[in-house]
Every structure is written in structure tokens, then in C-alpha cells.
Structure 1
Amino acid sequence: MSSVKHMLFVRSSKPPIVEIDSESGGVYVRFSDKAVAKTIERQSDGPIITVDVDRQGEVVGIEGLCFTEFSLSQILRQASVRADRVDLSKARFRTAASAHAAAVA
């Protein structure tokens, strides 16, 4: 994983799917189903934040660990990701277990 500080952008306008693992305090905000080419670690005083990008450098998703509570805008800010074209109020939320079951099916 590389650690960088530049701003990344979500190019899609599609609302994300937010996968929540309440046992670990993990959150994955998925903007795309594209293959992950690289994971970028972000510096944070609180939760652990990484950003997955595809081969073109587009944001695929943001992972956060050790959350007790969160907002999508907080995760984007801590990840240094801008999603100006995305209506976050239309995000869909599901448990990590249901996300895993859907991926296996």
C-alpha cells in the first residue's frame, strides 16, 4: 500500500453501496464494481482509511476500520475523496454478511 495525500475523485454519479460490518467496526463504501488495481492508505488520527482505485485511477471504494459511528461525508473527508456528482442521500446500506452472500451467489 502506498501513502499519498492528493485528492481523489469519484467520476461516477451512481450512489454508492455501503457495506457495514458491525463486529469489526468496518465500513466499505463501494462506488464501482471494477477490479481494484491499487489500494492507497490514508493518514488519519482516528479510523484506518484506505481507498481502492482501478487501473485508470478511478475510485472503486473506500474502506474504513474501527468506526463506532460515521457519516459518508466524514469518510470521504478522511479519505481525501471528492464525490461531487454523487447524491449520497441515495446510498444503499447493507451488512457485510449480505454483501458477501451476494458476491458468492
Structure 2
Amino acid sequence: MEAVTDSTWTAEVLASEMPVLVDFWADWCGPCHRLRPTLEALAEEWAGRVRVVSLDIDANPNVARDYGILSAPTLTLFRGGEPVRTVVGAQPKSRLVAQLEPAL
């Protein structure tokens, strides 16, 4: 899973032709660390269909502010440069797939 930053956001997420699932996380966030293996598994399963990236909200406050990210983890699926689905909090893989798959 690759990391994006305030400076790479537009090119890596907004301009992507493929849907992008962004994990807004923070190093101090325990649930974020527990969710990481699930997101890495989804990145492998959805390879070629969806890019899964992470953005550290403490190191990249501009994007987090622009999208009103108040909790970590927050997962937002972007398609065509627009947010189409957001899931807040760490959840089991089956629940994440059920919430995100229809928006793909």
C-alpha cells in the first residue's frame, strides 16, 4: 500500500483513472494499525480495479482539513476525483467490502 501526501494528492488520487481507496490514518491511532493488514489484503484482492493508498493526517494536514477528516481511521473511496463513499472507524473486512464494493 503506497502513501500519498499533500503534494502528491492531486496526481495520485484526484487525477487517477482508477478508483482510489484512501486510508486517512495517524501513527498514534491503534485502530489504524489494526486495520492495516485488512487494507493490504484488499489492495491485493482489488489490484487492477482499485488503488489503495494511505495518507498520514498529522503529516499531511491540508488534505485532511479539505475533506473534513475528524476521526482516524477514515476510509474514503474516490472515483473520478470525487469522494463517493466514506467509512469511519476500523471494521471487519467483510463489513468494509459490503460498504465499499457497491460504490466501485
What TM-score do the two structures reach when normalised by structure 1? 0.30
Larger strand fraction of residues: 1
Larger helix fraction of residues: 2
What TM-score do the two structures reach when normalised by structure 2? 0.30
